[in-house]
Structure 1
């Protein structure tokens, strides 16, 4: 889980605000939807639903934070107590950002899942304690709401009559924001292109990879 910003059409990941889970969730729920116009014409027994818009996208899962020492240390080789882990999680997903005056945007990566959105809810249950009352274990239920710009939404739903999907082959030195600026008209489309092509990262592109992108004619 990594915090990121969209400024001037450029996607910027804040690698200093990253939270890596100790234990993979047992499962996760990924919900998408479609909104239809269900208006009926007078006299019609049943209306044919007409596509209106791509609905909200949600991802939810539960994390277990352990401070007992049973779980092996993370990539940095350090064991962190539950309070420290909660502080890091809050900084990445919950903490209000004064410069944007809103909660942070986050990127979730897990296997083939790449999801961009904002925290919708976080419920924490502490289940084990030291004699001092300091928590040793916590279960954190998280729910995220997908967040897309107008350009991303058009790319995902492919609704714009002025766009067409084209294949772009990555060459050495290419970046996803740069390719999106060239072929989609905006670097801000990078998160949507990453989701569409199941890319694990916005920054690392493998030369020779073919990407599906929405191209706008000049």
Structure 2
């Protein structure tokens, strides 16, 4: 996890902030809107999923699967809650050596955590929109599942340690989603750099899903010969009206 822990510099802690419910969804600060983890997680998981229509006719041995949707990204991680105080002197990477609230019980920590990530927000009529940031990692979404496992107790039964297994689901504004989809659309001009082992028909197929449009691309870029295009050449792929072919 060197990508996120910043071992060569100042220790950075994973932070979870409540975001504004309307664009531009700025993260809010303060005890009621921000949670800094006690110990950075050992790992995080990102799950990406695409749904296809895999239906096929009876008696066939395969199918031309068709794209339906790409599901929102899922982010999973385990977070530690500790009330023993031993982490104040722990050599474990990520321990909150300076800012540990030793007087805060595990129940208090979990209540504060759940008030931010899980509690129903009466103003928005939904759980809070969250921003999770750690080093170069940035995620925006809502808590989907929370499983808390208690593993250490006082003689009176009060918990001294707990682990929260968190599953967050990505949340994206419609305007941002539409903008991202448009940026990948063949109806917009794209610029690509010609790489080794690439050719114009192959690149046209990637953009327009049809290699035959390489002629229009060559004309738009004023290319005289397809065999003499130097590696590293910037190729413009303009919008093409496929109905006129």
* Fold match by TM threshold 0.5: yes
> Which blocks of at least 5 consecutive residues in structure 1 are unaligned?
167-218
CA distance in 2, matches of 1:98, 1:131: 38
Partner of 1:6: 21
Indicate whether 1:93 and 2:109 are aligned: no
Match of 2:67 among 51, 56, 81: 51
Asked if the contact 1:154/1:160 (under 8 Å) is kept, the reply is no
1:151, distance to aligned residue in structure 2 (A)? 2.2
In the TM superposition, what are the counterparts of 1:28-67 in structure 2 within 5 Å? 28-40=44-56, 46-67=62-83
Q: For the pair shown, which has the larger CA radius of gyration, 1 or 2? A: 2
How many pairs align? 165
Structure 1 residue corresponding to 2:152, chosen from 128, 136, 145: 128
Unaligned runs of 5+ in 2: 1-15, 89-95, 192-245
Task: Determine the structure 2 residue equivalent to 1:25.
Answer: 41
CA RMSD of aligned residues (A): 2.7
SS of 1:91's equivalent? helix
Matched residue, 1:153: 177
Distance 1:89 1:165 in 2: 44
**Structure 2 contact 81–163 (Cα < 8 Å) conserved:** yes
The alignment's TM-score, normalised by the length of structure 1, stands at 0.65
In structure 2, relative to structure 1, the CA distance for the partners of 1:104 and 1:162 (3 Å cut) is farther
Q: Are 1:22 and 1:74, in contact at CA under 8 Å, matched by a contact in 2?
A: no
**CA 1:68 to 1:39, structure 2 compared with 1: closer, same or farther past 3 Å?**
same
